[in-house]
C-alpha cells in the first residue's frame, strides 16, 4: 500500500497512524477522488425491487457438516461476520431433527388442552389478533461448543460457537393465552410439541410458562423463517435451544413432565459419579471473541478493536473482561447498550498489537453475579462424559505473523 499517499497531519489519533489501517484509508481516499471521473454520473442504477438482497460482494454464509442425513443436521451462524447484536434471519443457525416442514399458515392450528378450563384450538389469525410483544433474545443449542471439551478444538468461532444467534421475536405471551384458558391448580407442566415428523416434544415447568415464554410468529420484523419454525414457535428466553419448539402445534398442561426422548436419552448430562443431570434448562453465561478469532489474520501491528459477544440464560450481562496476555491480567471491555436480558451483548476492547505472540480471551459476568469459568474449572465439576452446556472461556492464539488459531 502506498503509505506516502496519506496526508500527514500532526496530532492524528494513534489508531490512524498504524500502517495497515493507514494503507486502507489511503486506498479509499484515492478511489473517492477518482470515482467522479471513473463512474458515468448519468448512468442509472438498479430500479426498485420487491424484496431486498445483499450486495453481491458480501459472502457471509452458514456452514454445515456434509451429512448423509442433512434433514437431521445443524448449520452454524458466521459470528465472525455479524455486527452488533442481531443475527439476520438468513444467517440464524439451524438445528432440525427431521427437516423443515412446509406449513400453510392458513391450515396451521395450535391446540391447547389438558388441565385447562377451556381447551381451545387457535388459528394463526386468532393468535395475531391478541396483544403482542417484541423481545430481543438469544437462542443457543446446548450442544454449542461441544467439540471444545477435549483436546481437539473447533478451528473457528463459527464452528465452535455458531449454534447461537440472537433475534427480536414478536408474538403473544404464553401467560396471556394460558390466563384466558384458565390453568387448573394441578397443572405443573406444559408439554410443547412440534408438527415436524420427529414430533419434538419438551416439558416446560409451569412457572416459566407463566413468566416470559413467547408464542412467536415473527423474527427481526418479518414472519419467522421456515427454518426457524414458521408459522409458530415457542421462544423460551435463556433456556436451552431444544425447548424452543418449532412448528408448534400442541400444548398440553399436565401434573408431571412427560420424560420425552429429548429430555431423557438426549439433553441430559452424565456426571463423573454416574448420575445424570436432567432438565438443565438455563444456558450459563458465556462469551467469545469474534475478532480476532480462529482462521483470521491480523493485517499488521498497531490498533485492532477486539470485539465479541456475551450472553446469559439468567438475565443481563453486567461485565465482560478481556485478557490479551494469556489470562494473567484482565481489563473491562465496553458493553454496547441497550443490554437486553437473555440477549447477545456486544463488547469492544481497544488493543495495540505490538506484533508478537498473544493469547486473547474474554470472560463475562451476569446480573446474578455468576462468572464464566475456565475449561479446567468446568471439567472439575462436570467431568468429560457429557456433551452439552460447555460455556467455558475461549482462548485464541495470535501468532507473530498475525494468524489466529484456537489455543
Ligand X SMILES: Nc1nc2c(c(=O)[nH]1)N[C@H]1C(S)=C(S)[C@@H](COP(=O)(O)O)O[C@H]1N2
Site residues (vs ligand X, CB under 6 A): 92-97, 139, 141, 194, 196, 198, 200, 227-228, 241-242, 244-247
Minimum CB distance to Mo ion, residue 157 (Å): 18
Q: Based on the shown chain and the rule CB under 5 A, indicate whether residue 161 belongs to the binding site for Mo ion.
A: no
> String of b and e for 203-231 (b: at least 16 CB within 10 Å)?
bbebebbbebbbbbbbbbeeebbebbbbb
Q: Which is nearer to Mo ion, 242 or 260 (CB)?
A: 242
- Which range binds Mo ion by CB under 5 A, 133-141, 282-290, 311-319, 356-364? 133-141
Report the candidate in 255, 9, 234 with the shortest Cα–Cα distance to residue 127.
234
Q: Based on the shown chain and the rule CB under 5 A, indicate whether residue 313 belongs to the binding site for Mo ion.
A: no
341 touches which of Mo ion, ligand X, none (CB within 5 to 8 A by kind)? none
Minimum CB distance to ligand X, residue 274 (Å): 25
Cell of residue 314, nine digits: 439468567
d(CA 243, CA 201): 8
Q: Based on the shown chain and the rule CB under 5 A, indicate whether residue 252 belongs to the binding site for Mo ion.
A: no
Convert residues 173-212 into a mask of x (bound to Mo ion by CB under 5 A) and - (unbound).
----------------------------------------
Q: Which is nearer to ligand X, 21 or 60 (CB)?
A: 60
Minimum CB distance to ligand X, residue 263 (Å): 12
SS (H, E, C) 215-243: EEEEECCEECCHHHCCCCEEECCCECHHH
Q: Which is nearer to Mo ion, 242 or 323 (CB)?
A: 242
- C-alpha dihedral (124, 125, 129, 131), degrees to nearest 10: 10
283 touches which of Mo ion, ligand X, none (CB within 5 to 8 A by kind)? none
Report the candidate in 255, 212, 257, 253 with the shortest Cα–Cα distance to residue 117.
253
The DSSP output letter for 91 is G
d(CA 346, CA 309): 5
Q: Based on the shown chain and the rule CB under 5 A, indicate whether residue 108 belongs to the binding site for Mo ion.
A: no
> Which residues are 250's β-sheet partners?
111, 193
Minimum CB distance to ligand X, residue 250 (Å): 11
Q: Which is nearer to Mo ion, 208 or 339 (CB)?
A: 208
Q: Based on the shown chain and the rule CB under 5 A, indicate whether residue 242 belongs to the binding site for Mo ion.
A: yes
Q: Residue 156, class by beta-carbon neighbours within 10 Å (0-12 exposed, 13-18 middle, 19+ buried)?
A: buried
Minimum CB distance to ligand X, residue 356 (Å): 39
Cell of residue 61, nine digits: 454464509
DSSP 144-182: TTGGGSSS---SSHHHHH-SEEEEEEEEEEHHHHHHHH-
Q: Which is nearer to ligand X, 95 or 339 (CB)?
A: 95
Report the candidate in 304, 326, 293 with the shortest Cα–Cα distance to residue 157.
293
Q: Based on the shown chain and the rule CB under 5 A, indicate whether residue 293 belongs to the binding site for Mo ion.
A: no
Upstream peptide bond of 326 is cis (omega within 30 degrees of 0): no
Q: Which is nearer to ligand X, 286 or 304 (CB)?
A: 286
Candidate residues 62, 92, 95, 135; the one interacting with Mo ion per rule CB under 5 A: 95
- Please, how many CA atoms are within 13 Å of residue 204, restricted to the half-sphere of its CB? 31
Q: Based on the shown chain and the rule CB under 5 A, indicate whether residue 241 belongs to the binding site for Mo ion.
A: yes
390 touches which of ligand X, Mo ion, none (CB within 5 to 8 A by kind)? none
Ranked by CB distance to ligand X, the top (closest) residue is 194
Residues at the interface with Mo ion (CB under 5 A): 95, 141, 241-242
Amino acid at each position: 500500500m502506498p503509505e506516502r499517499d496519506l496526508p500527514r497531519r500532526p496530532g492524528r489519533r494513534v489508531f490512524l497512524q498504524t500502517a495497515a489501517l493507514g494503507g486502507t484509508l489511503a486506498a479509499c481516499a484515492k478511489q473517492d477522488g477518482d470515482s467522479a471521473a471513473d463512474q458515468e454520473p448519468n448512468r442509472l442504477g438498479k430500479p426498485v425491487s420487491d424484496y431486498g438482497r445483499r450486495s453481491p460482494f458480501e459472502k457471509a454464509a452458514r456452514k454445515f457438516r456434509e451429512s448423509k442425513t442433512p434433514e437431521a443436521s445443524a448449520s452454524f451462524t458466521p459470528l465472525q461476520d455479524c455486527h452488533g447484536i442481531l443475527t439476520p434471519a438468513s444467517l440464524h443457525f439451524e438445528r432440525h431433527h427431521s427437516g423443515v416442514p412446509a406449513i400453510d399458515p392458513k391450515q396451521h392450528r395450535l391446540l391447547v388442552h389438558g388441565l385447562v378450563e377451556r381447551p381451545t384450538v387457535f388459528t394463526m389469525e386468532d393468535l395475531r389478533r391478541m396483544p403482542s410483544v417484541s423481545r430481543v433474545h438469544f437462542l443457543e443449542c446446548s450442544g454449542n461448543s461441544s467439540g471444545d471439551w477435549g483436546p481437539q478444538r473447533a478451528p473457528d468461532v463459527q464452528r465452535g460457537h455458531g449454534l447461537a444467534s440472537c433475534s427480536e421475536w414478536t408474538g403473544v405471551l404464553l401467560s396471556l393465552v394460558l390466563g384466558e384458558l384458565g390453568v387448573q391448580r394441578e397443572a405443573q407442566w406444559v408439554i410443547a410439541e412440534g408438527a415436524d415428523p420427529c414430533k419434538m416434544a419438551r416439558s416446560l415447568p409451569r412457572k416459566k410458562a407463566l413468566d416470559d415464554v413467547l408464542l412467536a410468529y415473527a423474527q427481526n420484523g418479518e414472519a419467522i423463517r421456515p427454518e426457524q419454525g414458521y408459522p409458530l414457535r415457542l421462544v423460551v428466553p435463556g433456556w436451552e435451544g431444544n425447548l424452543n419448539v418449532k412448528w408448534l402445534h400442541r400444548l398440553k398442561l399436565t401434573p408431571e413432565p412427560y420424560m420425552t426422548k429429548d429430555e431423557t436419552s438426549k439433553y441430559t448430562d452424565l456426571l463423573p459419579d454416574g448420575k445424570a443431570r436432567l432438565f438443565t434448562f438455563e444456558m450459563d453465561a458465556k462469551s467469545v471473541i469474534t475478532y480476532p478469532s480462529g482462521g483470521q489474520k491480523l493485517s499488521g501491528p498497531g490498533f485492532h478493536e477486539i470485539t465479541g459477544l456475551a450472553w446469559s440464560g439468567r438475565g443481563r450481562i453486567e461485565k465482560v473482561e478481556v485478557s490479551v496476555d494469556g489470562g494473567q491480567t484482565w481489563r473491562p471491555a465496553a458493553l454496547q447498550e441497550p443490554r437486553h436480558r437473555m440477549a447477545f451483548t456486544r463488547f469492544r476492547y481497544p488493543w495495540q498489537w505490538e506484533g508478537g505472540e498473544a493469547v486473547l480471551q474474554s470472560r463475562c459476568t451476569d446480573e446474578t453475579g455468576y462468572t464464566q469459568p475456565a475449561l479446567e474449572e468446568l471439567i472439575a465439576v462436570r467431568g468429560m462424559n457429557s456433551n452439552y452446556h460447555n460455556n467455558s472461556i475461549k482462548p485464541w492464539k495470535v501468532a507473530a505473523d498475525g494468524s489466529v488459531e484456537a489455543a
